[in-house]
Amino acid sequence: MNCIKTMLTPSSVLHPLNKNMAFVQQKPLLFSLIIFCFIAAASSRGPIYAPPNVPRLTDSFGHVPIDQGYSEFFGHPNIQLTNNGSNANLTLDKVSGSGLASRSKYKYGFFSAAIKLPSGLTSGVVVAFYLSNADVFPHNHDEIDVELLGHEKGRDWVLQTNIYGNGSVHTGREEKLYLWFDPTQQFHLYSILWNNHHIAFFVDNVPVREFIHSNASSSIYPSKPMSAYATIWDASEWATHGGKYPVNYKYAPFVASFGEMEMEGCIWNTTGSASPCSRRSLSSSDPVDGETFAKLSQEQINGLQWSRRKLMFYSYCKDTARYKVIPPECKDSS
Ligand SMILES: *[C@@H]1O[C@H](CO)[C@@H](O)[C@H](O)[C@H]1NC(C)=O
Ligand SMILES: *[C@@H]1O[C@H](CO)[C@@H](O)[C@H](O)[C@H]1NC(C)=O
Ligand SMILES: *[C@@H]1O[C@H](CO)[C@@H](O)[C@H](O)[C@H]1NC(C)=O
Ligand SMILES: *[C@@H]1O[C@H](CO)[C@@H](O)[C@H](O)[C@H]1NC(C)=O
Ligand SMILES: *[C@@H]1O[C@H](CO)[C@@H](O)[C@H](O)[C@H]1NC(C)=O
């Protein structure tokens, strides 16, 4: 399997559905080697797009029961706690979506959720796990988004990430990539690391995006306390192919399952204490703003490069039609 990956040039591999076309573009003299690889891949079990080994960052943190760490945000009848409060099923139906909000606000931290997406035709349905403080700072809010966009029949699943800092909503900083698995079959881990050094997004612990706190990004770097949210909602206007495929409620209800919630770092607490951070009992020795979390490790960088080369198909940094002047922080990432 590895031989296929190494032979394909990055530009010819956009996502799994393109793989047959990609082969056609290869030089003929590689043909027999390709056939060999095909046979090797077909006879092995794993997906062709197996990610490289990365450290299991999510193992560094404990799970927070949803009934302790979160409260209802909206759509009360559509929120169902399961598994003794450690999991939640969030439903979107004709009447409403639903969502959870963390009870605490965080100045920085590690946030993770195991999510299983609704199966079936889910165009227009968005399942989101994100940080925001729009409730407290309506005009200069910060936001760090992981959005799982619904798919159409026969197409792949798309994950979108986005960042707003200090109310910078006029500049979308979206990136999109194809997932390398079917997110409706099992739970997968979607995580956000946010501290004063950088923001990193992970899928099953593989980094898919890093946003560095640099001089170029400092004016729009999220730096005010935020809550964590888990939601499902109708984004018919834009989610799937720019709104071409709205939610089809013939297939409702849409149920997303959440579990293995992790939230660790600086809990914002201004009442009484000298330090604004009151940490919950840390299972890791290093607070999430410390040296261990200041940079990606070399293995994580390899994972980041892998995911971006193979699976990313949109970055605002490359969107010259949208941005005549590419935002300055784009120089930070290669
Ligand atoms: C359910 O959760 C409560 C509180 O979190 C705990 O005390 C109890 O032991 C749990 N029950 C089971 C069966 O796990
Ligand atoms: C960032 O800005 C600070 C202060 O404005 C300056 O001292 C520093 O050299 C800058 N760093 C870079 C990499 O440009
Ligand atoms: C955030 O925006 C406000 C204006 O809305 C500005 O005064 C402030 O300096 C900005 N903060 C940073 C860190 O750039
Ligand atoms: C929660 O959703 C899962 C699908 O992810 C389903 O298998 C399970 O039955 C649901 N549980 C409840 C109590 O609705
Ligand atoms: C906030 O700090 C006060 C005083 O140190 C403490 O009593 C309280 O439990 C803290 N709240 C949280 C949510 O940690």
Q: What is the pLDDT of residues 312-333, one digit of tens each?
A: 999 999 999 999 999 999 987 6
If 0-12 CB within 10 Å is exposed, 13-18 middle and 19+ buried, where does residue 35 land?
A: exposed
If 0-12 CB within 10 Å is exposed, 13-18 middle and 19+ buried, where does residue 20 land?
A: exposed
275: three-class secondary structure by DSSP: coil
The CATH fold assigned to 57-333 is Jelly Rolls (2.60.120)
Longest dimension (CA), the chain: 72
In this predicted model, what pLDDT tens digit does every residue of 92-149 receive, in sequence order? 999 999 999 999 999 999 999 999 999 877 888 999 999 999 999 999 999 999 999 8
Query: Residue 171 pLDDT > 70, yes or no?
Result: yes
Question: Rounded to an integer, what distance in angstroms lies between the CA atom of residue 318 and that of residue 168?
Answer: 19
Mean pLDDT of the chain: 83
pLDDT category of residue 58 using cuts at 50, 70 and 90: very high
pTM for the structure as a whole: 0.84
Catalytic entry in 72, 147, 262, 264: 147
Answer for the pair 179, 146: CB distance below 8 angstroms, yes or no.
Answer: no
Residue 38 tokens, joined: 């095909």
Question: Rounded to an integer, what distance in angstroms lies between the CA atom of residue 39 and that of residue 19?
Answer: 15
Residue 292 tokens, joined: 């261990």
Q: How far is the CA of 210 from the centre of ligand 2 (A)?
A: 20
147 annotated active-site: yes
Q: Which ligand is nearest to the CA of 216?
A: 2
Cβ–ligand 5 distance for 272 under 6 Å, the answer yes
Backbone angles phi, psi at 83, to 5 degrees: 55, 45
260 annotated active-site: no
Ligand 3 atom having least distance to the Cα of 220: 14
Strand order in the sheet with 227-234: 70-74, 98-102, 227-234, 125-132, 143-149, 158-164, 175-178, 312-315
Cβ–ligand 4 distance for 115 under 6 Å, the answer no
Query: Residue 221 pLDDT > 60, yes or no?
Result: yes
In this predicted model, what pLDDT tens digit does every residue of 270-294 receive, in sequence order? 776 656 676 654 444 567 888 889 9
CA-nearest residue for atom 7, ligand 1, is 84
301: three-class secondary structure by DSSP: helix
Q: What is the pLDDT of residue 242?
A: 66
Cβ–ligand 4 distance for 91 under 6 Å, the answer no
Q: Which helix (H) or strand (E) holds 24?
A: helix 19-24
